[in-house]
Amino acid sequence: MSRQPMPTGATQAYIRRETERILGACTKCGKCFEACPMTRYSPAADGAEPERVVTGILGLLRGETGSPEALGWTSVCVRSGSCVPACPDSVNPKLMVRIARMIAAGGLGGPKQLQLKEDRDYFNRIRAFAKLQLTDQELADWM
Partner 1 sequence: MSEKITFWYGCNVLRHGDIIHSCLDILRLLGIDARAAGGPDYCCGTGKDANQTAADGMARRTVTRFNAMERERVVAWCPSCLIHMKDFMGKAYQPQFAITYLVDVLHEHRAELAKRLAHPVPMRVFVHKHLGFNDKSAVNQKVPELLRLIPGVEVVDDAYAGPGYMCTLLGTVPAAMEDMVRETVRRVGAHQADAVVTTFHQCYRELCGLEAHAGIRTFNYIHLLAKSIGLPYEDEYKAWKKAGTNAAAIIGDERIGKVGVEFFERAMLPELVKKPVGLGPKRVEQ
Among the residue ranges 19-27, 49-57, 65-73, 130-138, the one whose residues contact partner 1 (CB under 8 A): 130-138
- The residue among 37 and 63 lying less far from partner 1, judged by its C-beta, is 37
By CB under 8 A, what part of segment 21-60 binds partner 1?
37-38, 41
Considering the rule CB under 8 A, would residue 86 count as an interface residue with partner 1? no
Do residues 63 and 103 touch, judged by C-beta distance below 8 A? yes
Size of the site for partner 1 (CB under 8 A): 54
Report how far apart the first and last C-alpha atoms of the chain are (Å, whole number). Answer: 25
- Kindly list the distances between the CA atom of residue 113 and the CA atoms of 13, 102, 104, 110, in Å, as whole numbers in the listed order: 22, 10, 5, 9
Amino acid at 63: G
* CA torsion angle 25 36 72 57 (round to 10): 0
Check residue 78 for interaction with partner 1 (CB under 8 A): yes
CB neighbour list of residue 49: distance below 8 Å, 6 or more residues apart: 30
Interacting stretch for partner 1, rule CB under 8 A, among 23-31, 49-57, 62-70, 131-139? Answer: 131-139
Whole-number Å distance between alpha carbons of 26 and 44: 22
90 binds partner 1 (CB under 8 A): no
The verdict on 14 binding partner 1 (CB under 8 A) reads yes
The single residue among 25, 27, 111, 131 that binds partner 1, judged by CB under 8 A, is: 131
- Using CB under 8 A as the criterion, which residues of the chain lie in contact with partner 1 when the complex forms? 1-2, 5-6, 8-15, 37-38, 41, 75-82, 84, 95, 98, 101-102, 105-108, 112, 116-118, 121-134, 138, 141-143
